[in-house]
Amino acid sequence: MTRQTLFAAALAGLLAQAVAAQDPVEEIMPPTLPDLPDAFSPDWLSDTVTRPHANVATSASRPDFTVLPLDAVELDAVGLLPRSITGLPDDLWGQSEPETLVRLFRAQRTGGLPAVLSFTQTLALAELSSPVGADPSDGALFLARLDMLLARGALEPALALMERAGPSEPQIFRRFFDVSLLTGHGDRACAAMDANPDIAPTFPARIFCLARMGDWPAAALSLGTGEALGRITTEEGDLIARFLDPELFQEEPPLPPDPNLTPLAFQMRMAIAERPDLTGAPLAFVHADLSQLAGWRAQLDAAERLTRSGAIEPQQWFAIYTMRVPSASGGVWDRVAAVQALDAALLAGDAAEVARRLPPAFAHMQEAGLAVAFATIFSERLQRVPLTGEAGLLARRTGLLSPIYERVAQTAVAQDEAERFAFEIARGRAVEAPQGADAVTLAIAAAFSEPLPPHRYAWFLRNDRMGEAFLRAALVLGDREADPGDIADTLVLFRSVGLEDLARRASLQLMLAEG
């Protein structure tokens, strides 16, 4: 039996015990969820499909899928991460109303505690049975999970999820087409459109793909036809004309900025050397700035934003940070210089220089919301350097924010009450809060008391709505203004069902990631 299987089995046992052991306590009042239109979708999607269709059959040979009449895939059950990886029960959604789960996924934040961002991404990618009573042909929960990933700029897992489901359903294909464009796979998107007779493309999408496949006369004919039929707006026509024959417009001024930029328009503007400025653009677009074509400053900004949203791994952020030597100062350049100086000191094995470079680097990372990513990269290396005083404190603090948090707490010696408290939380032990502690620290201390106190999510556990409880708790921990009592309840919930690592990491990040 593998370690992952043992973990999954242990977690399943704890989940069952937690539900059985809940005493009747105060019934939680579910937080108000935002109103969303029935046909909600990201407002930046390209207009590529002209009419809706029913779900299209895919192969029934794929394992672990419930096969419906006509061999249709049950979209809400499609995932990438099996139970052996996540440890989550197959019936996590239980009796929750599908509409409520949809709204909860769409309400999840694009930033916040990295531990919570990672957990909710796991929920979005997990292979789980559909909620009881869900319409197998609806797929609304699948789209909500997918759109949460897109909102955070997590394009690679979103693309993999769509490929697992099969991008033949029009709403999925719209997202598949755009994500393929933004990740540099435009030819694959056009090939999928050409191979799927059930997808009726709009004129702009058809023209783009005809041009990509080298059929320029057919693309030009389609442009004229689309304009004559009123299916192409004046703005679209101007862009498409330049895309098809940019030499005709060499003397013309650049096109005005598009306030409603779509991935299709973005790709066409890129092709005519009029790359749009992506400052403030949705995170899904920012992914394109990771390319070498974007320039180093744009890559740095994109890497920081996508790291904060959990869309890319810290290693990718660090690779971009250390790509070149900054030639300017201020803002991101100061952060890059500070991190590079610390990296150089560690490579040289100079403890005195590391002690000098660590405080400014850590301060810059806290200010930029990148302390956890920084810790993931540097914690192991810092633990091997003999540091004392402020530098030693910061090295241990970095370790507590990293995946090796428990090892740091077990091997280091606390130098004050605040550090002792953090060490005990990292070990998962009951501990009194330091004297004069703030409200959040007091809430964390309450969540780690023994025995575990009652919590207001017990109603959800008793009524087979565990996944819904997790999503609601994630919203609380993602709110900087959350009530400390609510924070304590969420941490107790996670601890009571065996998600101890999540509770500890979230607690440490609440205490240590910000200045």
Structure confidence by residue, pLDDT tens digits, 334-372: 999 999 999 999 999 999 999 999 999 999 999 999 999
Comparing 29-33, 214-218, 346-350, 441-445, the range with the smallest average pLDDT is: 29-33
> What residues pair up with 73 in beta bridges, in sequence order?
67
* Average pLDDT of every residue of the chain: 88
Give helix 500-512 / helix 484-496 axis angle, nearest 10°. 150
Question: Where does residue 55 rank: exposed (0-12), middle (13-18), buried (19+ CB within 10 A)?
Answer: buried
Please determine, for residue 69, whether its predicted confidence score (pLDDT) is greater than 50: no
446-455 mean pLDDT: 94
CA dist 314 and 303 (Å) reads 9
User: Do residues 289 and 283 touch, judged by C-beta distance below 8 A?
Assistant: no
3-class secondary structure, 432? coil
- What residue ranges do the domains of the chain occupy? 1-30+414-515, 45-201, 206-276, 296-412
Q: What is the pTM of this model?
A: 0.89
| Three-state SS at 81 | strand
* Rg, Å, the chain Cα set: 25
Residue 23, pLDDT score? 46
Nearest Cα to Cα of residue 163 among 154, 174, 172: 172
CA-based nearest residue to 264, from 352, 133, 176: 176
First to last CA, the chain: 43
The torsion angle over the Cα atoms of residues 144, 149, 150 and 155, rounded to 10 degrees, is: -140
Furthest-apart CA atoms within the chain: distance in Å: 77
Summarised one tens digit per residue, pLDDT across range 211-251 is 999 999 999 999 999 999 999 999 999 999 999 999 989 88
A 10 A CB-CB count for 117 gives: 24
- In this model, does residue 63 exceed pLDDT 50? no
- pLDDT of 134 reads 84
Average pLDDT over residues 299-311: 97
Q: Is 199 within 8 Å of 306 (Cβ atoms)?
A: no
Tally of helices (H runs) and strands (E runs) in the chain: 26, 0
How far apart are the C-alpha atoms of 448 and 84, rounded to whole Å? 28
Burial class (CB in 10 A: 0-12, 13-18, 19+), 79: buried
Q: Which residue has the higher pLDDT, 30 or 252?
A: 252
Pick from 46-50, 173-177, 461-465: least confident? 46-50
Residue 33's pLDDT is what? 61
